Every structure is written in structure tokens, then in C-alpha cells.
């Protein structure tokens, strides 16, 4: 019986080593998959806002689109959608960001931007300091808020990943004409929301880009 002890111990050690190697390989595979998933999401973000990111880079050369990091996810509690008044919203149609089949649009401006006609020209004036972003559903003729923030935060731009997924690019406004960028990914079907934060502060006037998109007076 004693002669069998050492071979058995050797087999046990080999089995333990193989199990440890397999676990390590599994951990490495999972980490690689997580990095790949994160990289693909960051790539989606980078491809969605080329003009905005070019603006950031022109103002602060330290900016890199690859710097965004996945921060957190949650589920939104949305207010009920409201029936739209087409006459009120129609002047804003040229500024809407439409999805692929134009059945929905991101409304960045109708809440706090005033449009008036003077001398055959559209005059754009800033309204209140708050920001509301909504989705206009042309099939159901409704408008639903998906984002709201006070004057310390601004949304620069919006984009569609597909007909149900929206990206909003914005940032926290800091003193000294600085901003801390953030991207918000919203799935309209599941009401899920994912945040991507930028780790550094940029020397960028957050309102300049937004104002240039709509030529605010």
C-alpha cells in the first residue's frame, strides 16, 4: 500500500496544477472578452461624434476619445410621454437628429431655445439655463423627456446607434471655462442607461460647441 502513496500524490498535484491553469485561462479569457466588449463600445462612441471630438481636440490637445471609461448602468424612471403640438415643434424640425427611418428624433433644443421669425430670417435666442433632451415619436405623435439637468451641465450633441439606442454627449461645466465630458447611452426599448465618464478635465468652454450648432444669438 505504501508504494501507491507517492504516485497518488503526484497525480493529485498534476490534477491541481491543471485545474489552476484552467482557472487562470478562464479568468484571462473573461478579462479579454470584457476588454474587447469595452473597446467596441468605446469605438462606437468615438465614431458617433467626430465633429465634437475634433472640437475638443482643437481646444485641448490632451483629449483622446479612447479615454472614456464605462462608469455605471441603471434603469430610467421616465415621465409619461406627451402628445406633441406639431405647430410648436415644426420650427425645430431642421435641428432634430433623426433615426434611420425618421420615425423618431432627438430633440436637443425646443425646451430652452426660442426661435422667432424676423425679416424673413430665423432668430435663435437662448431661453432658460436648464437642459431637457427628449425623443419625438412621429408615429405616435408624442414627445418624451429622456434627460434633464440644471445649468451646471450641458448636452452638446446626440446620435443614434440604431433605431432604439441613443447616445448623448455632454459635460459638467466647471469654473475657468473647463468641462468634464460624459457620454450617455440610452436604450429606449428597455429604458436602460449607461454612463461613460472621461477621467480628466478639459480646458474647453462647454457652451461654445452647442451654440455653434444652432447659431445662438
Predicted confidence (pLDDT) per residue in 45-85, tens digit: 778 899 899 999 999 999 998 899 888 899 999 989 999 98
The model's pTM is 0.78
Q: Three cell numbers at 52? A: 465634437
Contact by Cβ (8 Å): 210, 52: no
Contact by Cβ (8 Å): 124, 63: no
How far is 213 from 9, CA to CA, in rounded Å? 73
How far is 18 from 27, CA to CA, in rounded Å? 14
Contact by Cβ (8 Å): 92, 209: no
Strand, helix or coil for residue 35 = helix
How far is 91 from 93, CA to CA, in rounded Å? 6
**Which residues of 50-177 form beta strands (DSSP E)?**
69-75, 82-83, 97-98, 104-107, 113-118, 121-126, 131-137, 142-149, 153-162, 165-174
Radius of gyration of the chain (CA): 25
User: Can you tell me the mean pLDDT for 8-31?
Assistant: 52
Q: Which helix (H) or strand (E) holds 163?
A: none
Residue 176: per-residue pLDDT: 82
CB proximity list for 13: less than 8 A, separation 6 or greater:
none
CB proximity list for 87: less than 8 A, separation 6 or greater:
none
Q: How confident is the model at residue 27 (pLDDT cuts 50, 70, 90)?
A: low
Q: What is the mean pLDDT of the chain?
A: 82
How far is 27 from 71, CA to CA, in rounded Å? 22
Residue 202: per-residue pLDDT: 95
Amino acid at each position: 500500500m505504501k508504494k501507491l502513496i507517492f504516485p497518488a500524490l503526484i497525480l493529485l498535484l498534476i490534477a491541481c496544477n491543471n485545474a489552476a491553469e484552467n482557472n487562470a485561462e478562464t479568468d484571462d479569457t473573461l478579462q479579454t472578452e470584457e476588454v474587447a466588449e469595452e473597446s467596441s463600445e468605446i469605438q462606437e462612441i468615438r465614431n458617433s461624434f467626430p465633429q465634437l471630438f475634433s472640437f475638443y481636440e482643437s481646444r485641448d490637445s490632451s483629449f483622446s476619445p479612447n479615454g472614456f471609461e464605462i462608469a455605471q448602468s441603471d434603469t430610467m424612471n421616465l415621465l409619461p410621454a406627451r402628445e406633441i403640438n406639431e405647430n410648436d415643434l415644426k420650427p425645430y424640425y431642421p435641428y432634430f437628429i433623426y433615426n434611420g427611418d425618421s420615425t423618431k428624433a432627438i430633440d436637443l433644443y425646443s425646451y430652452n431655445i426660442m426661435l422667432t421669425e424676423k425679416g424673413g430670417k430665423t432668430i435663435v435666442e437662448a431661453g432658460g439655463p436648464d437642459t431637457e433632451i427628449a425623443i419625438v415619436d412621429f408615429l405616435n405623435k408624442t414627445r418624451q423627456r429622456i434627460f434633464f439637468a440644471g445649468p451646471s451641465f450641458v448636452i452638446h450633441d446626440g446620435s443614434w446607434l440604431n433605431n432604439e439606442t441613443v447616445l448623448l454627449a455632454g459635460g459638467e461645466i466647471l469654473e475657468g471655462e473647463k468641462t468634464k465630458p460624459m457620454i450617455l447611452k440610452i436604450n429606449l426599448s428597455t429604458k436602460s442607461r449607461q454612463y461613460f465618464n472621461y477621467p480628466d478635465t478639459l480646458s474647453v468652454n462647454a457652451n461654445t460647441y452647442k451654440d455653434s450648432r444652432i447659431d445662438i444669438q
